[in-house]
Amino acid sequence: MSNHREVLVKVNAWVDEGIADLVSALSEIEGLITLESCQGDAGTRDAFVIFRYGDWQKCGVLLFGRMLPRISPDLRADVSLRLEAHDTDTALGRITLEPSVVPAFARCVREMLAPTVSAEMLSTTATERVSGAFDELRKAVA
């Protein structure tokens, strides 16, 4: 066995058509490695994705701090998020869901990844507006 250093690369892989959109959305998360997936069968077998994403803390934050809050209440009964930690350095995330909600959950993941306006940017914008308003007031008084 070689001692070569490994690096993460994104690759194309064959996945079930019914889970492909979710696997694709998850693949947009830097450092997430999908290990296994299945589209399931409506009414008989759930769809699932198993992945690795850092240690148990990092994976837990992704599942419960970032994904869970994005799941709408009507989807929560059909989606299960799990964390399996085998040691402190390795953890697996597992998303299990009713096959019919895969597209909606894939949208949740993409919304989570969408750039948002940070509080700092909002604060700067508000400061610029207030400053501009004061400048206009000074000109009007002068």
Taking only the tens place, the pLDDT of each residue in 25-58 is: 999 999 999 999 999 998 899 999 999 999 999 9
Pairing of strands 91-97, 79-85: antiparallel
> What is the rounded distance in angstroms from the CA atom of residue 1 to the CA atom of residue 105?
40
Tokens of residue 134, six digits: 């004061």
Q: Which residue has the tokens 């992704």?
A: 62
Mean pLDDT of the chain: 85
Fold for the domain defined by 17-116: Gyrase A; domain 2 (3.30.1360)
Per-residue pLDDT, 86: 83
Percentage of the chain modeled with pLDDT above 70: 80
User: Could you say which residues of the chain have pLDDT below 70?
Assistant: 1, 116-142
Residue 142, pLDDT score: 63
Model pTM score? 0.76
